[in-house]
Structure 1
Amino acid sequence: MAMLAMTFGAPQAQAAGMRPETSVVIVSEGAGEASMTVQNTDATPALLYTSIQGIPEDDEDLLIVTPPVARVEGGQSQLVRFIVSSPAPLKTERLRRVIFDGIPPKDSEAGVRINVNFRQNLPVIVRPAGLAVDSEPWKRLQWTSDGNSLTVKNPSPYVVRLSPGASLEPSGAKLDLGRTYILPNQSFSYPLPSEQGGQLASVRFTPATTYGFSVGTYDAKLTTSASH
């Protein structure tokens, strides 16, 4: 399928100010670190503040960024390094967010700082040493229904990115997954309308690559299970 130039869960890095070179940071535990170039697209210098944020499901400290603060001249770039600091070997991919804040310098005439910040918020995926790359991890999701609810489970070691909008097939009834990623070993259940129970064959959703690009819709087969 042809990839579409759109991303899920991260703003496009096209605005003026600090511009990261890619839409996601991939850090290999085996390599120990990764780096990304961030360009100051403005004509004036600015301070680049870089920070790592955990996600609600997982906020363990895994990475150190350096430098956390740097002055970047207008039109110039800064290399930011992401160093793995996990105290134990990773067993699955881990998701984090990196925040790039561009702070303009003080106004030379007014003597005060211009109150306009340029922020980029991008996903960071930390990959365990020795884990093979899977370009289609969404195919590993397991979808089951007991007639009353639908459950999606990610038994794989990969972070799966996707659009929150889905549909139940063959009826085409809409389903809001309520999220743009499913972490390893996560599962979520959704109630089904009574008229959908015995008519479901698949779930149609829009997955995204590791870099956040849509690859079109994908129909996942639905397995039925007995109600408890």
Structure 2
Amino acid sequence: MAGFLFSKKITWFVFVIFMWGEGTSVLADGMVPETTVVILHEEDGEATINVKNTDAKPALLYSSIENLPEDPEFLALVTPPITRVEPSEKQLVRVIGQFSEPLKTQRLKRVIFEGVPPRKDATTASVGVTIRQNLPLIIHPRGLEKNPTPWTLLEWSIVGDVLQVRNESPYVVRLSQEILLTPQNRPADIGRTYVLPGEVIRRKLGGPLQSTTGVTFYPATVYGFTVASYAARVAVQGP
């Protein structure tokens, strides 16, 4: 069912592009969201965000929810999915929760905003291809206490040449993909910018890691701001 909905969404977006523009030249994107993160509280049922058309011409604003590969469950929708926004005007977009049962942990989705400008005229070969605005959508369960520093709950360990990070907390943790193993100051890559609740990420790094006692990384707050680096202890569990 999810694949069918996704297919319909893409088909409709392609139709919009052909209605508003055609050809090969790239036009500027003028749709700017007012925040860098959207937070939907389960008890509220919805969240809102203003998106401004900063271009000098009207454009169609295409909004959608994108699931993560690790969490494909349908939990929210946006309205309106497609609407015309005049120059310098704002469009209020609603993100509405679709919950079949109470949430137990935070969930992470993506909110996508794309602006499709109109074609210049019937004879001009121009296409409305724009840069996507891709924002995190954090869905917060009813009754879950807010935690401004969830990255402190991550558990780091090394088994042989594998670095492991475990998130046993109910919070989504967002952090830099590149980290630093200490005390050798060896750079490493965990392959992701997030660790979901209950998830374990394992990365085979190669080479001896037994001398590693810590890891330093840059976390991001729930509102998307990068904070000072954070140093965590690493447990070595043997080969």
Question: Normalised by the size of structure 2, how large is the TM-score?
Answer: 0.82
Give the corresponding residue for 1:207.
219
Unpaired stretches in structure 2, ≥5 consecutive residues: 1-27
Hey, what does 1:182 align to over in structure 2?
A: 195
Q: Deviations over 1:69-114 (max 9, x none)?
A: 1111111000000110021111111111111111112324637764
Match of 2:80 in 1: 67
Aligned equivalents of 2:64, 2:207: Cα separation in 1: 46
Which residue of 2 is the match for residue 88 of structure 1? 101
Q: Identical aligned pairs, as a percentage?
A: 48
8 Å contact kept, 1:18–1:118:
no
Q: Is the contact made by 1:107 and 1:114 (CA closer than 8 Å) also made in structure 2?
A: no
Distance 1:161 1:69 in 2: 29
Runs of 4+ in 1 over 6 A off after TM superposition: none
What does residue 5 of structure 1 align with? none
Cα offset, 1:59, TM superposition: 1.2
Q: Which amino acid aligns with 1:56?
A: P
Indicate which of 145, 150, 154 corresponds to 1:141. Answer: 154
By how many angstroms is 1:167 displaced? 1.5
Q: Distance in 2 between matches of 1:192 and 1:105?
A: 48
Deviation at 1:131, TM superposition (A): 1.1
Contact 1:105 1:113 in 2 (8 A): no
Q: Report the CA distance shift for 1:77/1:171 in structure 2 as closer, same or farther (over 3 A).
A: same
Counterpart selection for 2:116 from 94, 100, 103: 103
**C-alpha RMSD of matched pairs (Å):** 1.9
> Hey, which of these two has a bigger chunk of helix by percent?
2
2:58 aligned residue: 45
Kept in 2: contact 1:103–1:118 (CA 8 A) = no
* Structure of greater relative contact order (alpha carbons < 8 Å, 6+ residues apart): 1
Equivalences for residues 146-185 of structure 1 within 5 A: 146-185=159-198
Unaligned residue ranges in structure 1 (runs of 5+) = 1-14
Normalising by structure 1, we get a TM-score of: 0.86
